[in-house]
Amino acid sequence: MSKYELIRQTFLGNPQDRVPISLWKHHPQIDRTPDGLANAEIAFHKKFDHDLLKISFFGHYPCIDFGCQAEYDGAVSGSTTLTEAAVTKVSDWESLEQPDVNSGVFGKQIEAVELISEYAQGRVPTMGTIFDGPMVADKICGKNLNMYMTEEPEIMHDVLEMITDTMVEFSKAVLDAGADGLFIASQHSTEAAVSDEHYMEFILPNDSELISRTRGNAGFIVMHLHARD
């Protein structure tokens, strides 16, 4: 049975003779260029031959084209650290401009997907890593999203709508570049991260929008609800 069929049957809830396995990691420093990320992901898959290849863009990839800066500081996880936030005060949200997902850092991720797809097509299904709108917004403002949602709800509704739209367009571009599915990550789907009120008002509507507008393009969607509890 091919990896594609194994994943398909598993997602359909049909038990097979083995459980599919997927592995992923960050590839710090080399993941900042299309060739670097593609070569690292391909080498990682050749080594472990896992059944589902998650394309792991660097941790702050959606933030740079909004005006942030981030660097790798040696974290064991391979994650990057924000060194300059695009938003440090309320007025910064109002001047935030929507980036073109086909250029800049977004565009480099799409180029990497194209290169990885040349290797993966017919061999292993792939999924591109997508951050939901609230997660991107939280990174853009240095992890102060809760404060802004509390103090400036009207502004944040507009901001999250714009960022979610950006991630929808990026998701579609990733799929057009050859990814089979999406791995959508949320860091605000637990009560340790946001209140029930904030979740229902801000998080759930934007996540629902992201899923509903991409599900028709994606072969599958994996929803990663990131939590600490």
25-52 pLDDT, tens digit each: 999 999 999 999 999 999 999 999 999 9
Residues 117-127 pLDDT 10s = 999 999 999 99
CA distance 31 to 59: 10
Taking the model in full, what pTM does it have? 0.96
Residue 227 has pLDDT above 80, yes or no: no
Please check whether residue 3 is in contact with residue 123, taking contact to mean a CB–CB distance below 8 angstroms.
Answer: yes
Domains in the chain (CATH in brackets) are 3-225 (3.20.20.210)
In degrees, to the nearest 5, what angle opens at C-alpha 115 toward C-alphas 111 and 118? 140
Please check whether residue 179 is in contact with residue 126, taking contact to mean a CB–CB distance below 8 angstroms.
Answer: yes
Residue 229 pLDDT level (bands cut at 50, 70, 90): low
Q: What is the mean pLDDT of residues 149-175?
A: 99
Two structure tokens written together for 115: 């290169």
SS3 (DSSP) at 182: strand
Q: What is the mean pLDDT of residues 140-162?
A: 98
Q: What is the pLDDT of residue 228?
A: 66
Q: What is the pLDDT of residue 61?
A: 98
Residue 183 has pLDDT above 80, yes or no: yes
Closest residue by Cα to residue 71 from 89, 59, 57, 55: 59
Residues 79-103 pLDDT 10s = 999 999 999 999 999 999 999 999 9
Gap between the terminal Cα atoms of the chain: 37
